[in-house]
């Protein structure tokens, strides 16, 4: 059934993006996590706070019914105050809760309308928004990590021709 495929894939993708962010956090120091190239840029720490807030607001509150206490502006204003273990733990707990919720969604529930951040959307649209939004910021975190560490993160190593005994011409 397509609805089962949708919720299963959505939860798996959130989990995959979370794991990649955790790899990045493991390669950065607490100072690097809060580093901004310019005043108008977000640090990796800001992005982790933002993703935690967004997933919690859209999934756990907007769909799951928890009370929403999000302070979105504070996510971007932070310049420290959280170490990487705290950022990672909060993000992991929020995403794991959201994944359980996503996996529980029935076809009828996916069609229901909810209002989140003054947007009236179906539950399916809310899930899609969260996965897309998470992917976007995970990509920013991966890029920042590569820039700061100078390291290859290896997420697509299995596609490398060298891994299969071939070389690129």
User: What pLDDT, on a 0 to 100 scale, did the predictor assign at position 110?
Assistant: 97
Could you tell me the end-to-end alpha-carbon distance of the chain, in angstroms, rounded to an integer? Answer: 44
How far apart are alpha carbons 84 and 80 in whole angstroms? 10
Write out the two tokens for 129. 């928004």
Two tokens, residue 79? 């310049």
Cα 148 to Cα 60: distance, rounded to the nearest angstrom: 33
**pLDDT tens digits along 38-84:** 888 999 999 999 999 999 999 999 999 999 999 999 999 999 999 99
* DSSP label of 37: S
Query: Are the C-beta atoms of residues 145 and 153 closer than 8 Å to each other?
Result: yes
Report how far apart, in Å, the C-alpha atoms of 123 and of each of 18, 34, 128, 135 are. 21, 34, 9, 18
Domains in the chain: how many in total? 1
Alpha helix (H) residue ranges in 39-160: 44-55, 72-77, 84-103, 107-111, 123-149
- CA angle (166, 167, 169) in 5-degree steps: 130
Does 169 fall in a domain? Answer: no
Name the pTM for this structure: 0.90
Residue 72 lies in a domain: yes
The CATH number of the domain where 90 resides is what? 1.20.120.450
pLDDT band, residue 161 (cuts 50/70/90):
low
Per DSSP, 81 falls in state S
The residue segments making up the domain with residue 115 are: 2-164
Pairwise CA distance, residues 92 & 98, whole Å: 10
pLDDT at 169: 42
Asked whether residue 120 is domain-assigned, the answer is yes
Does residue 71 belong to any structural domain of this protein? yes
């Amino acid at each position: 059934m397509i609805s089962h495929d949708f919720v299963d894939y959505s939860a798996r993708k959130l989990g995959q993006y979370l794991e990649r962010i955790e790899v990045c956090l493991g390669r950065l120091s607490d100072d690097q996590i809060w580093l901004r190239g310019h005043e108008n840029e977000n640090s990796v720490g800001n992005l982790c706070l933002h993703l935690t807030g967004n997933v919690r607001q859209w999934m756990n509150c907007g769909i799951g019914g928890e009370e929403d206490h999000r302070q979105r502006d504070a996510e971007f204003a932070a310049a420290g105050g959280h170490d990487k273990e705290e950022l990672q733990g909060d993000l992991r707990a929020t995403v794991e809760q959201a994944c359980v919720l996503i996996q529980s969604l029935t076809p009828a529930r996916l069609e229901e309308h909810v209002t989140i951040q003054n947007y009236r959307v179906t539950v399916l649209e809310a899930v899609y928004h969260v996965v897309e939004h998470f992917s976007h910021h995970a990509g920013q975190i991966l890029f920042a990590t590569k820039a700061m560490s100078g390291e290859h993160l290896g997420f697509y190593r299995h596609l490398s021709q060298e891994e299969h005994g071939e070389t690129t011409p």
